[in-house]
Structure 1
Amino acid sequence: MTTPAATTRSLWSHAREILRQAWPVLVSAWASIIFGVMDTAMAGHASAADLQVMALAASIYITVFVGLMGVVHALIPIIAQHFGGQRYAEVGQAWGQGVWLALGLSLVGAAAMLLPDAWLALSGDVDPAVRDGITWYLRALVLALPATLVFRTVYALGTAVSRPKTVMMINLASVGFKFAFNWIFIFGKLGMPALGAAGAGLSTAMVGWMTLCAGLWAIYHDPYYLRFRPQLGRLHWPSQKELLRLGIPMGGSYLIEVCAFSFMALLVAREGMFVTGGHQIMANLAALSYMMPMAVGIASASLTAQAIGARDPHRARKTGQAGITLVALGAALTATVLVVAKAPILRLYTDDMQVAIIAAALLHLLPWFHLCDAMQCIGSYLLRAYKVAVVPLILQIFALTGLGLIGGWWLGFGPAAGALQPLLARIAPGAPTGAGSMWLMALSGLALSAMLLFLWYGHIVRVHARARQA
């Protein structure tokens, strides 16, 4: 039953509760994304060829990892609803089944990453040295994949039970180790050979296993987790089916979102090394900006799922409204920073003038891209709190793949290549035709996705409220 205190809480009180959980998630996400920023910046200072290796190989890895991570993240609404309903033993059991799922998915991901030529077929004629660098980078990350996916179960558990600081502290500590290992392996320090971009992959693998060990130690030694009795247990097929029913469409949704970046990078490679470098800087900044709405979205979804588990639809709805408001305000602030600080941001990424010029042209689109990205992000996360994932996946396929990715290819590299050039000349002067067209259509796809997801979210909230009243 909904208590009077719950019905009279203000929107800001819900927003404060979200922020208390979102800021550790945000810091943790920034620490994770710094890995990619660090790899790109350090590889860029090694050579332009290493930057191209990083752009293409990272796109392949991110596509694989994010898709599989989305499946594992089905744990968040499942555990959060158990936690909200005070079913603590089921929390620990669900986590153990998530570990089994992550281990199985790591085999699938390894198989995909060991076939780089299948991915590079989209990139046209890639220099053999670049192709070789991509192969070695991905081989190193195959070693990292089991650790990083199992660590996402620790992340899911901490987030779902309102204990996100555990992962935050681990990720913050890992940044220092990542920088040191990158310095050693990319540039060949302390007697090691200079491995370039492949060295970044090796350092990621080493740090991945270190963070997993730290995460497992935390959940077995922190008294907060003792009530859940987290344990691996035996493989339980009904639990695996529940995870996969929710996780496969969630993973598909994550995959659709990230494929825009991945396939854009593979296609933009046709325009040469400097355009690839400029695109990679744009993609890194977009990913870094995305961390804010993602953190608020995860916190909002977790708290919403807890309210659903506690059978409090009013609190669930108010939490969603607060999350949407916070994301809108945060996105506007981020977009302003991207406009004001463009020049110093570019200096952090590259010393190459040609790469910087291309990146500067593309960055005209980034503030608007981020605003649309942020709103579709919060919409998708709130739907996941209600364990709704199939329809959002269909909507995102239509908007992000149909309009955004396929439309971008059609107008950037396909039969209608150059059709958007007059518009690009006005809003992003100097942007390459292919890369600029793809970013513009990706922006349009995100705007459509946000609108459709919010319409469906409103429908789900009304249906859920009527079901509780009945």
Structure 2
Amino acid sequence: MRELSTVLRHALTVLAGQLAVMAFGITDTIVAGRHSQDSLAALSIGSAVFISVYVALMGVLQALLPVWSEQRGAGRDADIGASVRQALYLWLVACVLGMAVLLLPGTILRATEVPPALRGEVRAYLAILAFGLPPAMLFRLYSTLNQALGWPQLVTWLQVGALGIKIPLSIWFTFGGAGLPAQGVAGCAWATLVVNYALAGFGLVMLRRPALYAPLRLWQRLEAPDRAQLARFLRLGLPAGLAILVEVTSFTLMALFIARQGSLASAAHQIASNLAAVLYMVPLSLAIATSARVSFWRGSGDERRAVVVAWQGFGLAALAGCGLAATLFVTREQIAGLYTDSAEVVALASALLVWVAAYHVADALQTLCIFVLRSWHVTLAPLLVYGVLLWGVGLAGGHALAYRGLAGIAPLQSPAAFWGASAAALALVALLFTALLALVMRLRLRQA
């Protein structure tokens, strides 16, 4: 019972911060929707590209959580500081790669057949966010470190505070005022850039607090790259990052493929995807808290307690997933109406939210499983499952159902084709991950 309470406290703290971050996206969606339907469509496409890049690179850094949690459980605090300094080399490479993609998105936009009329706004949006990527990735390192140490509140305070900056800046930059001309969807990007630098700056200030971080010996001279340690990071982080890339692109590429259906479809999809992302924060928070605790006990040498914590987290994720999906299904029309005053967009978005509810139940279970599997350093098998099912069944199946027809069904020409196929694919992923997690834990208990 004590472990369950620890996981819940950690998860709720992480959730508060994650919801604050998601409120950034909700703010931009509402602001862009009130500005114009085209602005909302451009935001849908631009954010899909940015999130694909950011989350894939973030996954490499987030995968270091079990490494630092194990070191914490084993009482090797000084090793954590050296490990964090080595992680800065990963941060540097990630920033270079990410900025290159965001500054040169033309190939992606052409390949996904984004309407030419929207490409200019999308390019401007991504160019601004490219320069906000380095501080965002630096803050991700700060977040992962504190979550591994069991101090998520030090992240949450900053994220909640940043929301107070983001909301007024997005409104001001988008609509203009006080001598600043209206910038449309680019204004949302400028607001995000300012917030990212503020978060990174405050995070660095927090790391200077000696009472908390002195045992880690963080502020030592930066060592030369340690090939052995960086190779270990990559063995864990690269498959994890690629898995997240497959997972996220199976979600975000829908926006680019749906864009050819017009601004109405893109706007409705943006609402659906935004709500799916908000709901995802609950299982994500539970997964982070559970995996941190599982890794801590593994570092302490107590495999049996690690397994108990893993199953407790799984039960919480299942319960929360079903409850949130039911709530969304019942209130879908009212929620869609909060985003826009267009009756057409509300009607289409409400229909899509039925699929989002089904999608979320499977998403909750698979998210918990894949994070806990990383605690046992299992990363390659989930990557293969994601590639086959999320890309092969979800994204490709949705594309076929929408534009070519499938199994005797005429082309739907609707975002619902993508959401239905993705929900089915994610359900299969959840079943396979649950079976894999049970197998891994059974084997580890036997070895112990």
TM class by shorter chain equals over 0.9
In structure 2, the CA distance between the partners of 1:125 and 1:308, relative to structure 1 (3 Å rule), is: closer
Bigger mean CA deviation after superposition, 387-396 or 51-60:
387-396
Residue 214 in structure 1 maps to residue 202 in structure 2: yes
**What are structure 1's unaligned runs of at least 5 residues?**
1-11, 422-431
Residue 62 in structure 1 maps to residue 51 in structure 2: yes
Residue 270 in structure 1 maps to residue 260 in structure 2: yes
Asked if the contact 1:412/1:418 (under 8 Å) is kept, the reply is no
- Tell me how far 1:62 sits from its aligned partner: 0.3
2:94 to 98, 105, 114: 105
Bigger mean CA deviation after superposition, 326-335 or 411-420:
411-420
2:417 to 437, 441, 449: 437
Residue 261 in structure 1 maps to residue 251 in structure 2: yes
1:346 to 327, 332, 336: 336
Asked if the contact 2:333/2:347 (under 8 Å) is kept, the reply is no
Residue 447 in structure 1 maps to residue 437 in structure 2: no
- Structure 2 equivalent of residue 145 of structure 1: 133
- Structure 1 equivalent of residue 113 of structure 2: 124
Asked if the contact 2:147/2:292 (under 8 Å) is kept, the reply is yes
Asked if the contact 2:114/2:256 (under 8 Å) is kept, the reply is no
- Structure 2 equivalent of residue 302 of structure 1: 292
In structure 2, the CA distance between the partners of 1:417 and 1:259, relative to structure 1 (3 Å rule), is: farther
Residue 84 in structure 1 maps to residue 77 in structure 2: no
- Structure 2 equivalent of residue 173 of structure 1: 161
- Tell me how far 1:123 sits from its aligned partner: 3.8
Bigger mean CA deviation after superposition, 454-463 or 35-44:
454-463
- Structure 2 equivalent of residue 390 of structure 1: 380
Counterpart secondary structure, 1:336: helix
Asked if the contact 2:370/2:382 (under 8 Å) is kept, the reply is yes
CA offset digits 1:140-188 (Å, max 9, x no partner)? 1011000001111100100001000011000000001011211221111
In structure 2, the CA distance between the partners of 1:212 and 1:272, relative to structure 1 (3 Å rule), is: same
- Structure 1 equivalent of residue 176 of structure 2: 188
Asked if the contact 1:75/1:94 (under 8 Å) is kept, the reply is no
**TM-score relative to the length of structure 1:** 0.92
C-alpha separation between the residues in 2 aligned to 1:120 and 1:440?
Answer: 24
Letter aligned with residue 58 of structure 1: S
C-alpha separation between the residues in 2 aligned to 1:433 and 1:164?
Answer: 44
- Tell me how far 1:341 sits from its aligned partner: 2.2
C-alpha separation between the residues in 1 aligned to 2:161 and 2:137?
Answer: 19
**TM-score relative to the length of structure 2:** 0.97
- Structure 2 equivalent of residue 41 of structure 1: 30
Letter aligned with residue 312 of structure 1: D
Percentage of matched positions with identical amino acids: 32
Asked if the contact 1:122/1:267 (under 8 Å) is kept, the reply is no
- Structure 1 equivalent of residue 325 of structure 2: 335
- Tell me how far 1:65 sits from its aligned partner: 0.3
Letter aligned with residue 137 of structure 1: Y
1:323 to 309, 313, 317: 313
C-alpha separation between the residues in 2 aligned to 1:222 and 1:20?
Answer: 25
CA offset digits 1:40-88 (Å, max 9, x no partner)? 1101100111001100000000000000000111210110010011110
1:18 to 7, 25, 48: 7
Asked if the contact 2:261/2:413 (under 8 Å) is kept, the reply is no
- Structure 1 equivalent of residue 215 of structure 2: 227
- Tell me how far 1:95 sits from its aligned partner: 1.5
TM alignment of 1:381-420, pairs within 5 A: 381-414=371-404, 416=406, 419=409
Letter aligned with residue 264 of structure 1: M
In structure 2, the CA distance between the partners of 1:346 and 1:125, relative to structure 1 (3 Å rule), is: closer
